Amino acid sequence: MGESIAVEVRSVTKRFPGPGSRPGSEVVAVDNVTLQILDGEFFSLLGPSGCGKTTTLRMIAGFEHPTSGEIYIHGKPMGLTPPYQRNTNMVFQNYALFPHMTVARNVAFGLEMRKVPKEEIERRVQEALAMVRLDGFGSRRPNQLSGGQQQRIALARALVNRPEVLLLDEPLGALDLKLRKEMQLELKTLQREVGITFIYVTHDQEEALTMSDRIAVMHQGRILQVGTPTEIYERPSCRFVADFIGETNFLEGTVQEQEESRVTVLVDGLLPVIAETDHRLPRGARVSVAVRPEKIRLVPEPVPGEHNTFEGRVEQVVYVGTATLFRVRLSPNVSLAIREQNIISTPDSRAYSWGVGGQVHVAWLYDAGRVLTD
Amino acid sequence: MSARAAGAPSLQGVARCGSRLGRIMRLMFTANGLMSYLFLYAPILVLVIFSFNASRFVTDWAGFSLRWYAKLFDDAAMMAALKNSLIVAFASTLVSTLFGTMTALAMERYEFFGKLGLDALLYLPIIIPEISMAVMLLLFFILARIPLGITTIIISHIAFNISFVTVVVRARLAGMDRQLEEAAQDLYANELKTFWRVTLPLMMPGILAGALMAFTLSLDDFVITFFTAGVGSTTLPLRIYSMVKLGITPEINAVSTVLIAASMTLVLFSLLLQRERRTEKVRNI
Ligand SMILES: Nc1ncnc2c1ncn2[C@@H]1O[C@H](COP(=O)(O)OP(=O)(O)OP(=O)(O)O)[C@@H](O)[C@H]1O
Ligand SMILES: [Mg+2]
């Protein structure tokens, strides 16, 4: 991965005229977004529906223009440059293959527009079809292909042009789960092979975690956090990120004391919980501690050293195959969701003997909790 | 397909639980349907059959003959009318298809002042009584001092055909995926190339359907043509009308049969083109 910046989005805001088309009734689709995407990176824009992912991508492609701010591709400000003069290519969610052309003509389209010599077009189209493992499909019509095949043709049609940046807008959205998983791995492998910068839009957190080098989490037009999958998952910067990606327990409380990055938070006025933070927090500040369900263990006795450990009562046990989900109440106002991997296959072994109503202890490492200030 | 499969049992269910009443109703509806078709097509059938009659009299059958068709093609006045009809149909189709297509593009793709009003006005020639339109056009030509003749007929046909073409082409455009054009632009095609390589080919079935429709409407039109025709610009329907006034001969049957056959073929093609669009769209989903 090179260190040079492929795409820079600098303080970009996009407003659309609202439904009333009166001044003031505007929709702010993208709100002061700044991003730096590195050369050769697999970068994901992740967020719930309507958060402005597609709009951001369409601005990079040139289909929309920022209301304010600027987009740079390899250092060049894009301004009002139309899509056909940008060295980016897009894979659309519904593929947008030309129905009146064969697969080969679809793939050749970009090269033809750039007046590449005929023999080279033929060769590169064949290569591109081989790359997506659809050689021999060139003479078919797009409507004679399955969804997954159409998806791969859309990919070939974009990659054959060797763009500087490939933009993908939920390209796997229309596929069924199994095919989706297959294509995720395939896409990731392909990206590594061709070394092209991918900007990938998705609302599926698992997909983003699986495929990306880095992820930007978006919400209501703003970027909340940018980081590697590990950073995003292990050290969420705010409550929304922690909640949107994976499952999380939130323990509300007030700051008691801080020592370096370690904070003691008094939860519900009686449970002192120790967790990590990157900030200086004043004594008495209202915060929440985020702990992932799989980081908490059920134990027969308190665990000494580096552990938060409390006594509780089991309220719910749900067996889900790979794991068992427990709900344990620590106090009248505080309960925890806990996920235990089903390591042992016999259900009546000790690990599963915590029945509903049983008294147990819970324990998690100080490092496993994150203090969130919002 | 699956919707039909799901709907079928409930329909059968209704028929079954109605038992006797259901049977009577089914019989009545079927009979009614058959009668309607008979009512519609019996005159046409009679007309076509008697165009092959060997007899001079329309009402006596005297054996099969193509004599009236032969006579038709020997009839100089009839041939002149056919020529006029074809000139009018081709000219008005060409112009109205061009303008109708451009109007459809403007209406579907661009925002401009007064679009809503113009949109409503577009349907007016389809809705208002043909006789009113004929009178209007006639008055216009007189006021504008344009001598009546084949030109005025062509102008009048263009006037109503633009609406029909626009409606058909717009339907096609509305069903078109805008992302296809974006994809073309993303693949380095500028606006003009995008239009030639993507928009126009995808619109083509709609344009052809509109053109066939326009051609048929022009070929068959009587009322407006009657008002706006001048000396020497008689079209086929006008010629038939003047012949009928002198008495019905099997030759009229023959020329009518030709007209019906031509119209039906053209409309069939037009429908096929529009239908192809629909199946294409379904498959793309
Ligand atoms: N052309 C437009 N005109 C008006 N509003 C728009 C337009 N495009 C997008 N918006 C609005 O901007 C906001 C962001 O839309 P965008 O399509 O970028 O969301 P998204 O994150 O891609 O969502 P999804 O996951 O549903 O695709 C939405 O509120 C949307 O309604
Ligand atoms: Mg979107």
Domain containing B17: what range?
A: 1-50
pLDDT band at residue B1 under the 50/70/90 scheme: very low
| Closest to A299 in 3D by CA, of A354, A345, A241 | A354
Render pLDDT for B4-52 as a digit per residue (tens, 0 to 9): 444 344 444 444 556 888 889 999 999 999 999 888 888 888 888 888 8
Strand ranges for A39-171 from DSSP E: 42-46, 68-73, 76-77, 88-91, 165-169
**Residues B202, B279 share a domain:** yes
Burial of A68 (0-12, 13-18, 19+ CB in 10 A): exposed
**Residues B165, B231 share a domain:** yes
Task: Give the number of the atom of ligand 1 that is nearest the alpha carbon of residue A58.
Answer: 18
**Residues A138, A254 share a domain:** no
**Residues B127, B22 share a domain:** no
Render pLDDT for A184-239 as a digit per residue (tens, 0 to 9): 998 899 899 889 999 999 999 999 999 999 999 999 999 999 999 999 999 999 99
Spatial separation of the C-alpha atoms in residues B213 and B269, rounded to whole Å: 9
Contacts 24+ apart (CB under 8 A), B48-53: B48/B253, B48/B257, B48/B260, B50/B250, B50/B253, B51/B250, B51/B253, B51/B254, B51/B256, B51/B257, B53/B250, B53/B253
- Give the CATH number of the domain where residue A314 resides: 2.40.50.100
**Residues B163, B27 share a domain:** no
- Give the CATH number of the domain where residue A147 resides: 3.40.50.300
What's the whole-model pTM score?
Answer: 0.81
**Residues A315, A199 share a domain:** no
Q: How many domains does chain A have?
A: 2
**Residues A292, A229 share a domain:** no
C-beta atoms of A96 and B190 within 8 A: no
**Residues B144, B72 share a domain:** yes
ipTM of the complex, rounded to two decimals: 0.83
Cα B112 to the chain's mean position, in Å? 30
Spatial separation of the C-alpha atoms in residues B21 and A319, rounded to whole Å: 57
Give the residues surrounding ligand 1 with Cβ less than 6 Å away: A 16, 27, 29, 47, 49-55, 203
Encoding tokens for residue A28? 């702010």
Contacts 24+ apart (CB under 8 A), B260-267: B260/B44, B260/B47, B260/B48, B262/B216, B262/B219, B263/B216, B263/B219, B263/B220, B266/B212, B266/B213, B266/B215, B266/B216, B266/B219, B267/B212, B267/B213, B267/B216
Spatial separation of the C-alpha atoms in residues A171 and A202, rounded to whole Å: 8
**Alpha-carbon separation of residue A107 from B176, B199, B203, B282 (angstroms):** 21, 18, 22, 23
Last residue of a domain, one of A212, A242, A272: A242
**Residues A262, A129 share a domain:** no
A:B CB pairs within 8 Å: 61
Q: Please, are residues B211 and B128 in contact by the beta-carbon 8 Å criterion?
A: no
Q: In what order do the strands lie in the sheet with A5-16?
A: A27-38, A5-16, A68-73, A76-77
**Residues B33, B118 share a domain:** no
**Residues B126, B251 share a domain:** yes
Chain A, nearest residue to B193 by Cα: A113
**Residues A276, A146 share a domain:** no
Domain containing A190: what range?
A: 5-242
- Give the CATH number of the domain where residue B104 resides: 1.10.3720.10
pLDDT band at residue B3 under the 50/70/90 scheme: very low
**Residues A330, A227 share a domain:** no
Last residue of a domain, one of A195, A215, A242: A242
Q: How many domains does chain B have?
A: 2
Last residue of a domain, one of A225, A242, A259: A242
Instruction: Say yes or no: A17 contacts chain B, CB-CB below 8 A.
Output: no
**Residues A301, A211 share a domain:** no
**Residues B217, B132 share a domain:** yes
Render pLDDT for A116-161 as a digit per residue (tens, 0 to 9): 999 999 999 999 999 888 988 999 999 999 988 999 999 999 999 9
**Residues A262, A167 share a domain:** no
**Residue B188 resides in a domain:** yes
